Amino acid sequence: MQRSRVFLDAGGSAPLSSRVVDALQAGFADGWADPARLVTESRKARGLIDGSREAIAEVIGVGADQVHFTPSIHFAFERVISGIAQMRRAQPRIVVSAIERDALIHAAFHTRPHGVELIGVDTAGHLDINAFTAAVAADGVALAAVQHASQEIGTVQRLDPIARVCADAGVPLLVDASSSIGHRDAPKHWDALVAHPADWGGPAGIAVLALSPQTRWLPTWPEGDDWAPGGVSVPLALASAVALQEREQERLANAGRLGALVEKIRATVRRLEGVEVLGDPYERLPHVVTFSCLYVDGESLLSELDREGFAVGSGSACASGSLEPSRVLASIGALTHGNVRVVLHPAVTGEDVDRFLAVLPEVLGRVRSRLGAPRMP
């Protein structure tokens, strides 16, 4: 009998629930008109976008006028970083943590090719607050960026002292919350925040940018809608809001259940020979666990698990096709190969996890022996 697939790679792309699919259909049925025009059909489409913004703003804990839809988190990083830096163009530097997403770091370098300062993290992935404080307190910082939680290792940053340091120095803080909103309470103190609907079970192709009322920027782009040039897709906006509401309603229950499954995975893989669990064991996302395995390459491990019916992620250079090792794994001093990232979503069952844990040691042993690894005791 064919076993069903088990999807354990839900970071940034979780399966859509039936309510979210319904919302997409409703968005196409009722929100097909151009929201920018003045006719009744357009007002209806605009109403759906406004309602969606309100629902998301409520979860983030801000006013609806502070929330903007934007085509992707990449686009959001690029525009908000360049816009704030343009407003503060006398300040040549951008200070970011070394474990930010590549997209954010690339956007920072694009804006200030010679002015990006990466601040290191400890082995659990927490920002070096002393180095960060010194960097931000020095003259010439246009903005700082620190993630809320790592999509790669799950560690949640201690944002309160980070935000205080930025506020004291008068430096705007961009918080990448694209792996945390929908899974944890939104961070409270920031000047700009980016969130990612596909990470909370919404559709791909849309992102959320929130700006605090005092955040100032200047466009470095053509005139038009600053954050969504050409307009916002009504079905994607609506489905994003419905997905977030659904996740929020079930968040406590999900965090408890998925958190227990993650604990089980952590406890089980830690006992395997040559396997290390990464990230902060306590201050972390409830649904994410990453571990690295000696003597295997991520690509082989991933494909073997995929053949067995399990989809997992990997931060390994070998798997991502890049020649450079993963910056996140390198900066926490972890093995840069043989990484497995498991990101659970509400449809994952205890049986799914048990089956995964039953298959993993055998797959690991198979890949190791194929690569000629030394025998593990």
What does the alpha-carbon distance between residue 232 and residue 211 come to, in Å, rounded to a whole number? 17
Interface positions, 358-377, toward another protein (CB under 8 A): 371-374
- 328 touches another protein (CB under 8 A): no
Can residue 333 be called a binding residue for another protein (CB under 8 A)? yes
With contacts defined by CB under 8 A, name the span among 18-26, 56-64, 214-222, 318-326 that binds another protein: 318-326
Pick 180 or 339: Cβ nearer another protein: 339
Q: Does 296 bind another protein (CB under 8 A)?
A: yes
Question: What's the min distance (Å) between Cβ of 94 and another protein?
Answer: 25
Total binding residues toward another protein, as defined by CB under 8 A: 25
In the list 92, 229, 231, 325, the residue contacting another protein (rule: CB under 8 A) is 325
Q: Does 137 bind another protein (CB under 8 A)?
A: no
Residues in 335-354 at the binding interface with another protein, rule: CB under 8 A: 335-338
| Interacting residue with another protein among 48, 153, 194, 318 (CB under 8 A) | 318
Alpha carbon distance 204, 365 (integer Å): 36
Q: Are 55 and 245 in contact (CB under 8 A)?
A: yes
| Shortest distance (Å) from residue 326 CB to another protein | 9
Instruction: CB nearer to another protein: give 97 or 292.
Output: 292
Binding mask 257-276 for another protein (x = CB under 8 A): -----------------x-x
Which parts of this chain interact with another protein (CB under 8 A)? 274, 276, 292, 294-297, 316-318, 323-325, 329-330, 333-338, 371-374
